[in-house]
Chains A and B, each alone.
Chain A
């Protein structure tokens, strides 16, 4: 098995773990952490695809994309955390109630 395949498979596993976590867990923070795990999987996928047959060096485009992606993910996660904190201050809730 080549190195990039190990990374690609790991990225798929991380993505699925995160996806499952978002849907299954109820706690705000757990859900937010799950999305960041998903994000980690996606970024790893980008980086692993930078190893291209035609090039003798790593393809720079995926790295540029990953940096942008990380910035977006950080912004979204901090926004979600701010919302969760405010909800906790207003109502004391830490998780979505099961009845929606």
Chain B
């Protein structure tokens, strides 16, 4: 572990946003916005440098304050973490630019909601910390930083509806964290360590580790709004301000997914069974169908987009059954693992960019017509071509049509499904795409339809439209370096891993 190259960047991408957030608390509204934007851009630059560092040196570590583990904190940045940090930086920088202009357009006196900036920088620091943590208790703390900052952002508008949604979100997140913490207690009690790579070696199959797996998975499912714990997501995401909705759906829920993936692959190898993988896959499949159907039934734009998040997160859960190999199949013979991992990564990336673009476009429409009923999309093409284009492009990526990033994600998922012989997931993927096409084309039909009566379109700053369009285009551009990205990710120990359920009683139990 200590033989790995040491680099200062993992510490900087966590420390800088938090430092900037604290500094900005002392400034007035205008100063907060300016320092917030500067801090965001600096963090983006640092994250990109850190990304390049990992492409050059491979996995790098940082030992905070030279206190060696187990006493100190070790930050480990492997290729998988680098990709997530890079994604956060890309989406985060564009949303920051949008937020700066958006708040200015809303209220010229106070620059809108100045507290957005410190909260967003805390959130960013928490996310980067989460991706870099190698220690379960650090993960708990960063998850809490993320949850509290995310809820505070969600209630920023101060309206009663947003507050109720925020309280529901906070209670769900708190329940999730405590369940996760209970799992940590059980793991520490049975092994005496919190280090994830150590736990992976020390943990033995048995009732304690199975119960720990159960409560930690439950906690993370609540946090990532996996079915049946998705109830808090649509109200919280749809009642928040536009840049906040974009942040919550593009980045925050991905944090819990990242940890779930790492836990299942690195720590709980001994406790997982084929049935556990199938069960979480079923939860994902129901989320895909239920979320898409609910999105199709909504009449308000932001609620459509929020329900669609539930469905798109369901696809992420559907890669888990492919990673759990049935007893007898060795990891070497399982040629679909790489496809399933690629599907997961591309689904995460394309959803982050497309959904951020979608929510930002919804924000533009709310400024332009004053409400977000889908009727407001009428004649959008005539008035705001760029936003119509952004919604169209982001929508196509969510459906999964070529050549979007969403296509790569869903195509590789199907490939993994057929190669692994678990064909029963395929109809779910296809039906989900059809339902998604249903609500996206419903929106596009309205965008091209002429207005019945003249509704005045307010003038919207062009720069907002440009940012939303850039994010939508980015969900296509991520396809171009696909080969290099996968090659890079293979440098990460966990990428391409699968769990064999051999020697553990197969589908029926652990012990």
Contacts and interface: CB of A to CB of B under 8 A. Distances in A.
A17 to B, nearest CB: 12
Most buried by A among B144, B148, B178, B189: B178
A28 B179 CA distance: 20
Contacts of A68: 137, 141
Interface string A1-29: 00000000000000100110010000010
B186 A91 contact: no
Most buried by A among B137, B174, B186: B174
B185 A45 contact: yes
A79 B171 CA distance: 10
Contacts of A59: 192
A100 B148 contact: no
B311 interface: no
Nearest to A28: B167
Interface residues of B, number: 35
A45 B160 contact: no
B231 A38 contact: no
Nearest to A64: B137
A78 to B, nearest CB: 11
Nearest to A76: B174
Contacts, number: 92
Interface residues of A, number: 39
Most buried by A among B141, B179, B189: B189
Given A45-B189, A86-B163, A35 B175 contact: yes
A83 B178 contact: no
Interface string B373-388: 0000000000000000
Most buried by A among B148, B175, B235: B175
B178 A35 contact: yes
B175 A38 contact: yes
Nearest to A44: B185
Given A65-B137, A90-B163, A100-B235, A35 B189 contact: no
A10 B511 CA distance: 25
A52 B140 CA distance: 23
Most buried by B among A42, A59, A61, A68: A42
B182 interface: yes
Contacts of B141: 68, 72
B185 A76 contact: no
B155 A83 contact: yes
Contacts of A15: 178, 182
Nearest to A90: B160
B289 interface: no
B34 to A, nearest CB: 27
B113 to A, nearest CB: 16
B240 to A, nearest CB: 14
Interface in B126-185: 137, 140-141, 144, 147-148, 151-152, 155, 158-160, 163-164, 166-168, 170-171, 174-175, 177-179, 181-182, 184-185
B103 interface: no
A80 B188 contact: no
Contact of B171 (A31, A72, A75, A87): A31
Contact of A83 (B167, B192, B194): B167
Given A69-B181, A76-B174, A80-B170, A46 B160 contact: no
Nearest to A50: B189
Given A79-B148, A87-B167, A100 B231 contact: yes
Enumerate the 5 nearest inter-chain pairs by beta-carbon distance, A residue then B residue, closest first.
A49-B189, A45-B185, A90-B160, A91-B160, A83-B167
Interface of A: 15, 18-19, 22, 28, 31-32, 35, 38-39, 41-42, 45-46, 48-49, 52, 59, 61-62, 65, 68-69, 72-73, 75-77, 79-80, 83-84, 86-87, 90-91, 93, 96, 100
Interface of B: 137, 140-141, 144, 147-148, 151-152, 155, 158-160, 163-164, 166-168, 170-171, 174-175, 177-179, 181-182, 184-186, 188-189, 192, 194, 231, 235
19 contacts: A15-B178, A19-B179, A22-B175, A28-B167, A35-B174, A41-B182, A46-B185, A52-B192, A62-B188, A72-B140, A73-B178, A80-B171, A83-B151, A83-B166, A83-B167, A83-B170, A84-B167, A87-B164, A100-B231
